[in-house]
Amino acid sequence: MFAEQYFDAIVGVLAYQMIGVALFLPLELVFPKVRISFADRARGVLFLLALAPLTALIGASLIVLKSALGITGIPIHFGLGSPVLAAIGAALWIDLQFYTIHRIEHRFFWRFHAVHHSIRNLSAANSFHHWTEALMGLIIAVPLMFVDVQIAPTLGFLSFLFRFQQFYIHSTAKPHFGPLRFLLVDNRYHRIHHSTEQRHYDRNFGAMTPLWDWLFGTLHMPAKDEWPEVGLREVGEPTSLREWSSLPWRFTGRSRS
């Protein structure tokens, strides 16, 4: 059973990664804010693929564990009365967890999260994380084992947004959300989070909505033409699988929190 679950999981992860890159690559090529080399994109895809086996292993293990324990899940729409409200509520809950974990990473696990921030040529393809961050994702994934998230299947757009927004917010395409940036995170909003400018440090942690940044005082709404340089001044981005895997243990920079 586990072998079957793992096969399904790794196929799903790889498909998700490649579809995510493929969706926004045309936008970056046709409407580029900056030019990104083929080598940078290819290296980013390589690191994404390298992360897939561990991500799939975690996903398959949780599915098998859920089945073994007989966990059926509590319908999250209970008491909300609307599948639309249930979907929005689930999204906000997940995004709040992500926001919290993201701030914890900056404060206590910066050397691992710094791998992501070391990227100097961000793009949909070149938006990798270190493999240890897949383990941090368990903080979100484990509670979801006890929740029935199969709700509002007709909300295709909302589902698409949850799954693929992470590729868009790292893209270098010109299209952005404009005034809707106050409701949904776009690439200009998230670029502030990766900025090398000290005034941008520890700003814009949210991945789906700016709500939590606004509530907890970490919001920086970018100006119309604000597009800062990104990366880390103290270390370059990894150029090989060996550098990607070992960077946290070689990194000596201080946390931004």
Instruction: List C-alpha distances in Å: 206 to 14, 159, 203.
Output: 25, 17, 9
Please tell me the predicted confidence (pLDDT) of residue 241.
96
Collapsed DSSP state (helix, strand, coil) of residue 255: coil
Give the E-state strand segments of the chain in sequence order: 74-75, 147-148
- Cα atoms in the 13 Å half-sphere on the side-chain side of 8: 10
- What pTM did the predictor assign? 0.89
Confidence of residue 79 (pLDDT cuts 50, 70, 90): very low
Answer whether residue 204 is part of any domain.
yes
- Give Cβ neighbours of residue 61 (< 8 Å, ≥ 6 apart): 2
In this structure, the number of other CB atoms found within 10 A of the CB of residue 59 comes to: 20
Instruction: Determine the Cα–Cα distance for residues 139 and 235; give it in Å rounded to an integer.
Output: 28
Please tell me the predicted confidence (pLDDT) of residue 150.
53
Range of the domain at 39: 2-250
pLDDT in tens, 180-199: 889 999 999 999 999 999 99
Answer whether residue 255 is part of any domain.
no
**Domain count along the chain:** 1
Answer whether residue 23 is part of any domain.
yes
pLDDT in tens, 92-114: 888 888 898 899 999 989 999 99
Answer whether residue 109 is part of any domain.
yes
Instruction: Determine the Cα–Cα distance for residues 216 and 257; give it in Å rounded to an integer.
Output: 14
Structure tokens at 209: 């909505």
Helix axes 38-69, 241-250, angle to 10 degrees: 70
Position with higher pLDDT, 184 vs 72: 184
- Cα atoms in the 13 Å half-sphere on the side-chain side of 228: 20
Answer whether residue 257 is part of any domain.
no
Instruction: Determine the Cα–Cα distance for residues 109 and 12; give it in Å rounded to an integer.
Output: 28
* Portion of the chain with pLDDT greater than 90, in percent: 56
Answer whether residue 238 is part of any domain.
yes
Nearest CA among 145, 156, 169, 166 for reference residue 51: 166
Instruction: Determine the Cα–Cα distance for residues 231 and 117; give it in Å rounded to an integer.
Output: 5
Answer whether residue 170 is part of any domain.
yes
pLDDT in tens, 111-164: 999 999 999 999 999 999 999 998 887 777 677 667 665 554 544 556 566 678
Answer whether residue 256 is part of any domain.
no
